[in-house]
Structure 1
């Protein structure tokens, strides 16, 4: 459940520098924070902690300012990134590269290790409101293609940003009905979506899919759906996708694989993961073999050992939590494995 991080009015706003990080200075990082004096002083931030991240909803009818200098960075080397989803009003970001202004729907990432100034500005009678997420930069790196040196902007038309904001807002508003693990999973999903949006923004509009691209996507989906069927074959896939077996082989060659290689790699990968995440008392090796599309446990055992250098029972006993041989050995056998 969200808790109040700070709440400022005319009575206490002069102490905002000492209060904006919360009671124990547990949020953000060192910097100069102040509120513009005016007829209305009303600024409030609510926080929901999710693991090492915090989702913070900031509302203010008064201009707020935050400045991070090199002196602050020397005194407090916390490397924290903040993802800003601007909902109303404006957010003005200034650094050595110039000024940028974000309006409703825009998205910004700021980073604490470069000097900057932020202004949170109401828009007339409309208060400034932003949902932002503080993320340790070493964690954020796992979701982005490259580091954000100082700041990064995405305009309002990026659909992924809107979806990520909705996910984070739902987690923020949750009244402890979600488990901590589920909340973390949702935050991770939002960060993954943001990463996709950033990559799409860098590469521009993706190239239009060709007919072959669309057909290949249909083929891969059909195989994934029917992977557990031991009768899965080229003729079955071709018929299900409305193409000829010859064209099916051509599409898979475009992907750099054959039908046999693709199907057996996927089946063995699913089996390996299933063995790693299950207990013998819950499901037997034979059930796993049939569940991923093998016609017999003996065939499954031979194939598994050929690829992972141990049989399924040995794997389950000695390395249930290890990712053994993730670079799968492709094996098609003489004449192929599927007829």
Structure 2
């Protein structure tokens, strides 16, 4: 049975053509979907009664959408089906799925989720690797260690976008896509895991190093030597990877730490945390060095930024 037509239209407008199927009386079904467009990122907040969401091959061909979904489960459970795999999501878990191919979602109970939609090229994986990471659980119930740091960072960034000043939303949206790319890359680089026959090229290796940086941002001792040893490559090759992207390893680490600090300083839930504590959490040993780097990057002190972000 189908829920009210306006519900199906709302889901299809956000996700691409989909069909909704409910098992109970359709007139009693309740659901809502709020969509925000943030440049490269779209964020849907979804809350609904039990339902099945189906995107067929015909639907995918008809509308031609090819973006990737990252479903972050907030309440209740969800089952994500694609390519013969099933990901069971509990609160705090995330899974990717692909609008360009058939998928289905089984939502067996009242639930709430955030669904992040990004152009597939921003995940920076080849098509074969994209298929490997779809419908895989990322979170507390999965063995991948990077998720322990990256998922809270992702959740905080997405929460912050809702209340951020318009001038900072685009930067936050790009930070979210960077974290999603790191999460996807980390799915391919778990301990001892490498797909059969896979010989990482420079782009893949660069993405894997970036995923490790995201995972270990909080470690003050993170350095080019640590990264080279973690990936079994020479320091010279590591520096070459970053030079080809017109940056250095140290610059990249510093930028990502500053972005993480800025996101936390803007977050209302972290308002009682001292600036020094925020800096230390993201790997800055010296509060003075952090304040100098922050002012140089953003044109104001951390205290001024926090006051502006909170409307002070």
TM-score normalized with structure 2 length: 0.54
The corresponding residue for 2:94 is 107
CA contact (8 A) 1:17 1:34 kept: no
Correspondences of 1:111-190 after superposition (within 5 Å): 111-122=98-109, 127-141=110-124, 146-148=129-131, 151-157=134-140, 158-159=147-148, 160-171=150-161, 173-174=162-163, 177-179=165-167, 182-190=168-176
Contact 2:76 2:111 in 1 (8 A): yes
Deviation digits for residues 43-74 of structure 1, max 9, x if unmatched? 111122101421111112x1122111111122
The C-alpha deviation readout for 1:20-65, integer Å capped at 9, x for no partner, is 34xxx4x3211212444359532111122101421111112x1122
Structure whose CA Rg is larger = 1
Q: Residues 217, 34 of structure 1: CA spacing in aligned structure 2 closer, same or farther, 3 A cutoff?
A: closer
Offset, 1:87: 1.2
Question: 1:82 offset after TM fit, Å?
Answer: 0.8
* CA shift digits 1:102-161 (9 cap, x unpaired): 111111111012212111232xxxx31111111122333379994346824233232212
Cα RMSD of the aligned pairs, angstroms, is: 3.9
Residue pair 1:114, 1:149 contacting (<8 A) in 2 also: no
- Whole-angstrom CA distance in 2 between matches of 1:89 and 1:133: 18
Which sections of structure 2, spanning at least 5 residues, go unmatched? 141-146, 193-218, 227-233, 252-312
**1:87 maps to what in 2?**
74
Aligned residue in 2 for 1:255: 235
**Deviation at residue 197 of structure 1 after TM alignment:** 2.9
Aligned residues: 202
Q: Deviations over 1:257-306 (max 9, x none)?
A: 9xxx99xx9xx989xx9xxxxxxxxxxxxxxxxxxxxxxxxxxxxxxxxx
Decide whether aligned partners of structure 1 residues 141 and 215 sit closer, same or farther in structure 2, where only a CA change above 3 A counts.
Answer: closer
Spell out, residue by residue over 1:294-332, the C-alpha distance to the aligned partner (whole angstroms, 9 max, x if none).
xxxxxxxxxxxxxxxxxxxxxxxxxxxxxxxxxxxxxxx
1:197 and 2:177 are equivalent in the alignment: no
Greater helix content:
2
